[in-house]
Homo-oligomer: A and B are copies of this chain.
Amino acid sequence: MKPNFSKSSKGLLPAVVQDHSSGEVLMLAYMNQAAWEATLTTGKATYFSRSRQSLWIKGETSGHVQLVREIRIDCDQDTILLKVEQVGGAACHTGHRTCFYTVVDNQGSRVVETPVFDPKEVYSS
């Protein structure tokens, strides 16, 4: 069993990224076959950036790489689940631990997490 990249017209499957110890869902990104193979080979989460249209080693710029502890695929072989150790403690480019820091309900939305780093410091060159 492995991911079936031909199930998506663009050859991209969603990858759910979960903190391996807390179980927190950190982010969702996309993989193509090359990103999948790079992830398996290197043990560092590698995605396909839809905006840049190129392989994206998560943490390449910030140093906040994701060390892969376990990989699962779903019953349909069209979604990937990565359980990772998030170096630096934050997966989100905003400095939040998780990209899912906003709760939405019938009343509206509210931010429920505070950043663990200042993006200006991490991404300054």
Contact = CB atoms under 8 A, between A and B. Distances in A.
Given A18-B25, A40-B106, A94 B75 contact: yes
* Chain A interface extent, by class: 35 or more
A28 B79 contact: yes
Contact of A74 (B1, B23, B28): B28
A27 interface: yes
A81 B106 contact: no
Nearest to A106: B40
Interface string A74-96: 11100101000000000011101
A70 to B, nearest CB: 6
Contact of A75 (B41, B93, B112): B93
